[in-house]
């Protein structure tokens, strides 16, 4: 199943990067490292030539993050849009390969609309995991759902409410701004740790095959959450310079994950899987309607 999933990922990606990443862990680590180095270069150039900070500020000056909050919003949106653009192009190719050839090319739009609920339910519930009655799979479903919910919540926060969260303002502990961030971070940490611990201990057949590729996404999610939490703690502790450096590390982890791992790595199956089930349901409904029509005209 894992081999088939990687093969299909490579087919849907027109750039060829998924194919290289699936074949070689070195390509995956190299691509992530390249984007991380690019982010670091952009951070340094921004501070030196846009903000015009002297190099001495990076050594001893306790500075806040307010000089980044304006432009970082546009940078964050750009990163999300670039990743979304690649994903959309891969989905378009998936549709072309699976639903635009042979008898599937003539399926009316009404069947796609009628089965839209299938994709929504599969995306939200991920109930396919529950088809296995084993207890380990029910626990795995719960942790997988927590991780997916944490990722979705963090996306909503970063894309739609970034200016509310990216601020030097100190909010009281009961403010929803803090608790939403805590909830997203907790789900990311809990879900990623469960995957890594389960695979390290090889609990159940699903965790017997453990390799570098399987660890990349949960490690990136865990490091993203932990580095973001560290920025939060340092900022509330009044350690501005430490928060500044930690924020740079946070960007060097999160941006490569969004630009490389999400559209080209193993995490793209989170989108392809509900889409595949959706397309299968559309085909089944169209076939059922065709058989009914044949019976009526017979």
pLDDT for residue 33 is more than 70 = yes
Domain ranges for the chain, please list them.
2-297
What is the sign of the dihedral through the CA atoms of 96, 273, 33 and 255?
Answer: positive
What are the pLDDT digits (tens) for 49-104?
A: 887 777 766 666 565 556 566 677 788 889 999 999 999 999 888 888 888 766 66
pLDDT for residue 121 is more than 60 = yes
Residue with tokens 């990623």: 192
What are the pLDDT digits (tens) for 140-174?
A: 777 878 888 888 888 888 878 777 777 767 788 78
The reported pTM is 0.82
Residue from 135, 79, 85, 95 nearest 12 by CA: 95
According to DSSP H, which parts of the chain are helical?
2-12, 17-23, 25-45, 57-60, 66-99, 109-114, 116-125, 135-160, 162-165, 176-201, 212-236, 240-256, 262-264, 269-297
* Contact between residue 28 and residue 213 where contact means Cβ atoms under 8 Å apart: yes
Mean confidence (pLDDT) of the chain: 80
| pLDDT value, residue 203 | 60
Q: Is 244 exposed, middle or buried (0-12, 13-18, 19+ CB in 10 A)?
A: buried
What are the pLDDT digits (tens) for 192-218?
A: 988 888 777 766 555 555 566 678 888
Q: Is 193 exposed, middle or buried (0-12, 13-18, 19+ CB in 10 A)?
A: middle
User: What's the 3-state SS for 226-295?
Assistant: HHHHHHHHHHHCCCHHHHHHHHHHHHHHHHHHHHHHHHHCHHHHHHHHHHHHHHHHHHHHHHHHHHHHHH
């Amino acid at each position: 199943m894992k081999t088939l999933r990687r093969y299909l990922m490579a087919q849907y990606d027109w750039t060829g990067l998924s194919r290289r990443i699936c074949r070689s862990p070195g390509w995956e680590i190299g691509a992530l490292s390249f984007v991380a180095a690019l982010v670091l270069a952009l951070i340094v150039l921004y501070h030196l030539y846009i903000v015009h900070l002297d190099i001495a500020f990076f050594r001893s000056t306790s500075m806040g993050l307010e000089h980044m909050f304006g432009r970082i919003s546009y940078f964050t949106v750009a990163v999300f849009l670039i990743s979304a653009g690649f994903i959309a192009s891969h989905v378009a190719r998936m549709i072309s390969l699976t639903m635009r050839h042979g008898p599937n090319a003539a399926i009316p739009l009404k069947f796609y609309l009628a089965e839209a609920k299938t994709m929504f339910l599969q995306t939200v519930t991920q109930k396919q995991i529950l088809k296995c009655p084993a207890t380990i799979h029910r626990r795995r479903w719960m942790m997988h759902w927590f991780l997916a919910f944490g990722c979705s919540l963090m996306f909503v926060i970063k894309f739609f409410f970034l200016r509310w969260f990216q601020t030097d303002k100190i909010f009281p502990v009961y403010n929803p701004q803090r608790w939403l961030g805590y909830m997203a971070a907790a789900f990311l940490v809990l879900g990623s740790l469960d995957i890594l611990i389960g695979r390290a201990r090889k609990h159940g057949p699903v965790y017997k095959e453990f390799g570098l590729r399987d660890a990349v996404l949960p490690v990136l999610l865990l490091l993203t959450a932990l580095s973001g939490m560290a920025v939060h703690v340092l900022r509330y502790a009044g350690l501005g310079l430490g928060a500044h450096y930690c924020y740079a590390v946070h960007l060097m982890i999160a941006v490569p994950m969004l630009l490389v791992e999400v559209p080209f790595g193993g995490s793209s199956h989170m989108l392809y899987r509900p889409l595949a089930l959706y397309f299968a349901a559309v085909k089944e409904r169209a076939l059922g309607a065709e058989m009914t029509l044949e019976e009526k005209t017979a």
